[in-house]
Amino acid sequence: AQSVTQLGSHVSVSEGALVLLRCNYSSSVPPYLFWYVQYPNQGLQLLLKYTSAATLVKGINGFEAEFKKSETSFHLTKPSAHMSDAAEYFCAVTSSGYSTLTFGKGTMLLVSP
Amino acid sequence: GAGVSQSPSNKVTEKGKDVELRCDPISGHTALYWYRQSLGQGLEFLIYFQGNSAPDKSGLPSDRFSAERTGGSVSTLTIQRTQQEDSAVYLCASSLGGADRVRYGYTFGSGTRLTVV
């Protein structure tokens, strides 16, 4: 079975501050991990993905995530938040034994000026 | 097409009516997925189609929900006798099959917002 836990349904940061969104996964086989962003009334846009190559993955809009097997984590970070980063972020997992993505419940990122 | 297209973008229906939601995947994508997004619940898997194989219906919440995919392309999700708890955003995604789904990723449509009144 697969599962994803995203700690914090809402995270608030000030513009220019570090963004850290947490994701922990559970998978009985090596996972593939994804971060998606959803802006209001839009679909999901892929930010980045881990596919068993480099453990530090860089994505779009300055985001990056590090796969830590020992901690079963794939936290998303950005050094300096921008107002345009305000959105909902979803972490998801799949593996070679599954075809579908299993999502966490999402974290709403709020950015204040 | 260039992206995954879903229609309608919004649908308001009366309780007890049937609704059909449409998904047009990216051309060449053999896999198609339906998810339901309810407030505070994240994305819930509903059904998955891969090529000509029998669909994985394990996520459908009740027998009021069904889906088909014609000609390996367009898919329709049907909800019969809608209930208020069916109100949600229904998202469709498509991908290449096998290992390529990870390499090239899953592409999501903008969703259909269903409101049952």
Segment A17-70, tens digit of pLDDT: 999 999 999 988 889 999 999 998 888 999 999 998 889 999 999 999 999 999
> What pLDDT score does A7 carry?
94
pLDDT digits (tens, 9 = 90+) for B5-49: 999 999 999 999 999 999 999 999 999 999 999 987 789 999 999
Contact B109, B3 (CB under 8 A): yes
The chain A residue lying nearest B109, using CA atoms, is A43
Q: How far apart are CA A65 and CA A21, in angstroms?
A: 9
Chain A residues inside the 8 Å CB shell of B109:
43
User: Of A76, A82, A79, which is closest to residue A106 (Cα–Cα)?
Assistant: A76
Cβ–Cβ < 8 Å for B80, B61 = no
| Cα–Cα distance for residue pair B108/A46, rounded to 1 Å | 9
Confidence band for B103, pLDDT divided at 50, 70 and 90: confident
Q: How far apart are CA A16 and CA B62, in angstroms?
A: 46
B55 in contact with A at a CB cutoff of 8 Å?
Answer: no
Residue B79 has φ and ψ, to the nearest 5°, of -120, 120
Q: Encoding tokens for residue B51?
A: 């090529």
Which residue carries 């949600």 as its tokens? B88
How many whole angstroms separate alpha carbon A85 and alpha carbon A109? 7
* Minimum-distance CB partner of A105 among B41, B45, B48: B41
Kindly list the residues from chain A whose CB atom is less than 8 angstroms away from the CB atom of residue B107: 46
User: Cα separation of B75 and B41, whole Å?
Assistant: 24
CA distances from B52 to A101, B35, B48, B108 (A): 20, 20, 12, 21
Contact A103 B43 (CB under 8 A): yes
Look at A88-92, B51-55, B79-83 and tell me which has the smallest mean pLDDT.
B51-55
Two structure tokens written together for B80:
């019969």
∠ CA A69-A52-B59, nearest 5°, is 85
- On chain A, the residues whose CB falls within 8 A of the CB of B45 are 100-102
